[in-house]
Structure 1
């Protein structure tokens, strides 16, 4: 039960971090998650438990590496393969050796094997952490490809090196020749195992789909099951499970061919599930890092035999060694690498030195490093506690936090995002498409589909409002002016109705008095609202207020006189208050219908903002619903079905608007594809019921 409570706390913190990151975009999501992990630890209901290190490796490392290998751009990876392998293997080995020997020399209590294990764990970088940094930093496509390729390959090399160093620390013996032989067997064997399983997986996926046996559920479950099968199967054959996962991830295709709603639905759900899983696993690791920090800090900080200054100094020293080695290595690779076009080596210019700095701080430590440190056993083979385990974990955590902080705050300075965000650049175009769709829907309103179309128009209005908020173009003043104008439309309608009643009096005196009284009360309400919402302080406003209040007072005095005379004569009034109230509601509904019609007409013109008209339509429809009786359940079901049909029709309108904009030259082909892709997703959702 304690493990279940721990998982619930982690998931809740990950969900909360996704919301908080929207409000602080300049702070990377991993940093937010680390802070949340620290906070969760101090909550009274937080369970006191820990995860098995081996379970942690299988649960987090296998699916994350598999997804990272599968989604990497293969063509971009090939272009930067030499540099990526240089960083992933060469720099990882140098970092492992340098950190190991320096740490052991500075702090002899840490054995050389344990220090080498820490150095190996600090080799892998976390490209996911960089991609989740604020939008202030701008990396080139080559830099992103290089960082992702390095992160993919150095995960494997770092983990293999860590496992051998940890084995030496665990057993206390380390034979170089035997270790080298085991390394080669593990490396080659894991790669071959991954390629074989990846080939079989491709065949299984294609065969199941071609035979028509595939369903969305079975396909997603097979994809999710594959990385765990790869890791556990490779470990059973005593080869590297990490390399098996990476090799299979690079080779597995996840067949996405075929035509039909089922294929489309499966592909969309697959991408969504893997996206959620990736964010959740990465977030869980950083939440666990935050949870582990207080415990590791307390255990080491309160130890009287360990100097706190030594702890802080070692963290700064190890971080400095890692960053310095990385900067020197990247600069050397840039100097040695030949130009693709000329084949000549290029000199280091200030721009290239800046690029080396970007690549240095663009490789912070994160998920893999922490996951590896969690796998350190609590006891050695002899049964004694693993020496300095808390301190090693504390040092690794400190280095992770420092490198993340440096990446978060130095990358925007080294690579400022001077260009426009592509996603933000698409917002105005999307708004134009949605506005055109709303205008087209307005022209298709009939008495039969009126309510359904207005509901769909309201949905489009909300989408436009959300998009405008993203780019800071909301206009509350314009909506306020339209609301005041709508009140004037109500006033004109009621005035015309009152004039018509007085010009054509009813034969029944009671009905005549009822209609007049209801209209006058409606006018009093509208005029009183207008007096409170008027914002124009120009001349005549005060006089208008005085006149309005005088007319309202005069009508109330007349009504009071009528009722007083009726009581004196011991007679009942022609109409009761209940009748007046009911008739007032009827006229109010008629006035609302009149305003709704005016708003629908205005949506086809350029006088007022389209989304303002739609938003006000929603307000008046809500007022109408509160004044009228609720529809029955069968009517509601029919209305929902009609709304869904209108939504499907609106998607077709959007596609035609996009095509017209492309043919007119308002958008390019890439923008057209991006806009269409979103609509296709909504169409599949509507047709298949995702």
Structure 2
């Protein structure tokens, strides 16, 4: 239970550090985690922790180095492999030797072999620290690849050198040929075993995929199991470097880059997500553990009255200067003697080269591997005496770790200010080119059956293009807002004109109805008078009888026409109410986008409402109107919206090529209004929704296939590198997997 509580506390500290780093971005997350670990170690409420170095290597370092090796840029690593191996082997060995000689010369109480053990422990750079601190600085690809490659390979050098130095101190004897022979066996054997395992695992996974045995669950579990298995077999059974075996396997693994289809893409995405979470958790746990170990590692010597604290501080200072100066001179020499890949000439000694050497010097801090090695120093020698200066060696190692981490945190951002927030414009432009090519190809495939689905997919591509443009400063949301305002103003102008024509037709019809009412009232009186005269005179002619019949027929026709006019007037009043509602909706939208349009509309509606009120009261007094049905107003509104959308689509098409608005914005707006027009015309009935959904899914798949084809064409033409193409393809794979859930 105590171990379980300790694990929970460490994970909680990692989680808290991620929040704290947001408020103090200038302090790197590893330093925050170290501080939190130190606080946990000093407070009595947290469980005590003892580090088993072997368990630490297999539980933390093996999976982290595997992931780092698997995700590293292989092309850049190969370019800087000679420099990386020079730092990993040559500099590590020189650091071991020089720290031992200088420390023994300055303070003879440190035996030479023990001092060299300290130098060997200080040889490896922390791969976790290099990866984490590199995010706060803008390292060049060469610098990053060299540092990453060094951190992958120098662990074996440090571990093997440390073991021989400790053996020499404990036994009192040392054989250089034997040490070099065992180093060669462990170094080469570890790499060879890792390469063999890489080939076997690639074949195993690809065969399982061909046979249909691969599932996302088994793939992730087996991949997580690999680094632990390889390390344990290499270190404990074959007695070679387990670290190098894990690194070699990670570099050679490629099964996640082979195979096509949504299942493979889904497995790759899940794998990437799982490893990112695991990597962040293990990274944080490593630094929290380091913080928890530091107080105990330094406290013993600091509280020992037999040892001067000033001597300890001076020792840390001397060792730090030795490590830093040696690293700077070595990296500068590596850069000077490394020929340019394109020109084949050696660079001149310039301020830029020295700055790069300084970046690589401070970019290689020491970390938990150094402390874990120092903590494995035995307490006794073979003759039964205490190991000389054990506590002091651990104290110095811990002090150097703190100093190098602090220097890396503050020196790297000064030497190479981070520009990670800036998006590489060239890469974004290539992505935009791919998306535009996809839109053109999809547009050529539009038919009457798939029009709505293709329009919807093109709309999504236009959104992606606009988002990419905004990342490099070529697009501003204000541009689209300006188009929205202009579109609504066109809608408002159209609907105002349409409402004006409706009211004009209303006025004309009402005038005609009033004239017809007057004619109908006069017709019965004249007929009655003619009938009375005929009775009194008791005379009639055939012509008079025909005239009376004609008068009756005309009266019936006028009454019929009056009924038609009343129905037309009712239709016009429905259109008027619908037009006013549409205008009210437009004005509400314009209020948020253009307050000037709102003020203009308020003055306009006040005049219209007053006129409409007078008309309504007048017709009620005359009993010429009937109550307007809400359904009739709704139908009239749909027809008016369809007419307005048709007008806007033509207006928007006329804007293409004028340069007033972005092409992607215009196309997106056109598609929106085309979909509204189709809906208003009743083309998207509920019975057709499943078919449209299937068409949309199929169109998305076509779009992704076109994207991948466009990317491949750009690779073959040399427009983009394979690394860039791999990143672009990964984005397409993510969307392929997400398509089902999105639909």
Which bin holds the TM-score, normalised by the shorter protein? Answer: 0.7 to 0.9
Whole-angstrom distance in 2 between the partners of 1:298 and 1:578: 84
Whole-angstrom distance in 2 between the partners of 1:476 and 1:277: 33
* Runs of 5+ consecutive residues of structure 2 not aligned to the other structure: 510-564
Of residues 5, 8, 20 in structure 2, which corresponds to 1:5? 8
In structure 2, do the counterparts of structure 1 residues 301 and 32 end up closer, same or farther at CA, with 3 Å as the change threshold? farther
Cα pair 1:599 1:617 within 8 Å, conserved: no
Whole-angstrom distance in 2 between the partners of 1:319 and 1:533: 61
Which residue of structure 2 aligns with residue 60 of structure 1? 60
Q: Trace 1:66-77 onto structure 2 (pairs within 5 A).
A: 66-67=66-67
Which residue of structure 1 aligns with residue 576 of structure 2? 516
Matched, 1:678 2:682: no
Q: What CA deviation, in whole Å up to 9, does each residue of 1:288-307 have, x standing for no partner?
A: 37854985799589959698
Whole-angstrom distance in 1 between the partners of 2:336 and 2:608: 92
> Number of aligned pairs?
660
Q: Once the 2 structures are TM-superposed, how far is the Cα of residue 205 of structure 1 from its aligned partner?
A: 3.8
Which residue of structure 1 aligns with residue 122 of structure 2? 122
Cα pair 1:441 1:650 within 8 Å, conserved: yes
RMSD of equivalent CA atoms: 5.8
Whole-angstrom distance in 1 between the partners of 2:589 and 2:147: 62
* Runs of 5+ consecutive residues of structure 1 not aligned to the other structure: none
Q: Once the 2 structures are TM-superposed, how far is the Cα of residue 395 of structure 1 from its aligned partner?
A: 0.9
Which residue of structure 1 aligns with residue 454 of structure 2? 453
Q: Once the 2 structures are TM-superposed, how far is the Cα of residue 71 of structure 1 from its aligned partner?
A: 6.5
Cα pair 1:130 1:363 within 8 Å, conserved: no
Of residues 399, 412, 418 in structure 1, which corresponds to 2:416? 412
Q: Once the 2 structures are TM-superposed, how far is the Cα of residue 654 of structure 1 from its aligned partner?
A: 4.2
**TM-score by structure 2 length?**
0.68
Cα pair 2:697 2:739 within 8 Å, conserved: no
Q: What CA deviation, in whole Å up to 9, does each residue of 1:107-138 have, x standing for no partner?
A: 89988776544432321235776676369745
Q: Once the 2 structures are TM-superposed, how far is the Cα of residue 162 of structure 1 from its aligned partner?
A: 3.2
Which residue of structure 1 aligns with residue 701 of structure 2? 648
Q: Once the 2 structures are TM-superposed, how far is the Cα of residue 2 of structure 1 from its aligned partner?
A: 2.0
Cα pair 1:319 1:403 within 8 Å, conserved: no
Q: Trace 1:362-511 onto structure 2 (pairs within 5 A).
A: 362-364=360-362, 369-374=367-372, 376-377=374-375, 387=391, 391-392=395-396, 394-405=398-409, 408-412=412-416, 423-438=424-439, 441=442, 448-495=449-496, 497-498=498-499, 501-502=502-503, 503=505, 507-508=566-567, 509-511=569-571
Q: What CA deviation, in whole Å up to 9, does each residue of 1:324-354 have, x standing for no partner?
A: 112233455677889999999x8x9533x75
Whole-angstrom distance in 1 between the partners of 2:297 and 2:51: 20
CA radius of gyration, larger in: 2
Q: Once the 2 structures are TM-superposed, how far is the Cα of residue 649 of structure 1 from its aligned partner?
A: 2.3
* SS at 2:474 equivalent: coil
Cα pair 1:5 1:47 within 8 Å, conserved: no
Q: Once the 2 structures are TM-superposed, how far is the Cα of residue 398 of structure 1 from its aligned partner?
A: 1.3
Q: Once the 2 structures are TM-superposed, how far is the Cα of residue 587 of structure 1 from its aligned partner?
A: 6.5
* SS at 1:235 equivalent: helix
Cα pair 2:435 2:707 within 8 Å, conserved: yes
Q: Once the 2 structures are TM-superposed, how far is the Cα of residue 647 of structure 1 from its aligned partner?
A: 1.4
Whole-angstrom distance in 1 between the partners of 2:492 and 2:261: 52
Bigger mean CA deviation after superposition, 514-523 or 679-688: 679-688
Whole-angstrom distance in 2 between the partners of 1:102 and 1:300: 24
In structure 2, do the counterparts of structure 1 residues 174 and 61 end up closer, same or farther at CA, with 3 Å as the change threshold? farther
**TM-score by structure 1 length?**
0.73
* SS at 1:176 equivalent: coil
Cα pair 1:489 1:595 within 8 Å, conserved: no
Matched, 1:158 2:158: yes
Whole-angstrom distance in 1 between the partners of 2:694 and 2:308: 71
Q: Once the 2 structures are TM-superposed, how far is the Cα of residue 188 of structure 1 from its aligned partner?
A: 1.0
* SS at 2:123 equivalent: coil
In structure 2, do the counterparts of structure 1 residues 670 and 681 end up closer, same or farther at CA, with 3 Å as the change threshold? same
Q: What CA deviation, in whole Å up to 9, does each residue of 1:247-274 have, x standing for no partner?
A: 7438855467976548964995598369
Of residues 20, 32, 35 in structure 2, which corresponds to 1:35? 32
Which residue of structure 2 aligns with residue 92 of structure 1? 92
In structure 2, do the counterparts of structure 1 residues 595 and 134 end up closer, same or farther at CA, with 3 Å as the change threshold? farther
In structure 2, do the counterparts of structure 1 residues 140 and 327 end up closer, same or farther at CA, with 3 Å as the change threshold? same
Matched, 1:235 2:239: no
Q: Trace 1:571-650 onto structure 2 (pairs within 5 A).
A: 574-575=626-627, 586=638, 590=642, 593-594=645-646, 597=649, 601=653, 605=657, 607=659, 608-613=661-666, 616=669, 639-650=692-703
Whole-angstrom distance in 1 between the partners of 2:338 and 2:674: 67
Q: What CA deviation, in whole Å up to 9, does each residue of 1:36-71 have, x standing for no partner?
A: 664688799x96564743332112222333455566
Cα pair 1:91 1:326 within 8 Å, conserved: yes
Q: Once the 2 structures are TM-superposed, how far is the Cα of residue 596 of structure 1 from its aligned partner?
A: 7.2
In structure 2, do the counterparts of structure 1 residues 628 and 180 end up closer, same or farther at CA, with 3 Å as the change threshold? farther
* SS at 2:391 equivalent: coil
Whole-angstrom distance in 1 between the partners of 2:583 and 2:253: 70
* SS at 2:720 equivalent: helix
Whole-angstrom distance in 1 between the partners of 2:687 and 2:491: 33
Q: Once the 2 structures are TM-superposed, how far is the Cα of residue 486 of structure 1 from its aligned partner?
A: 0.9
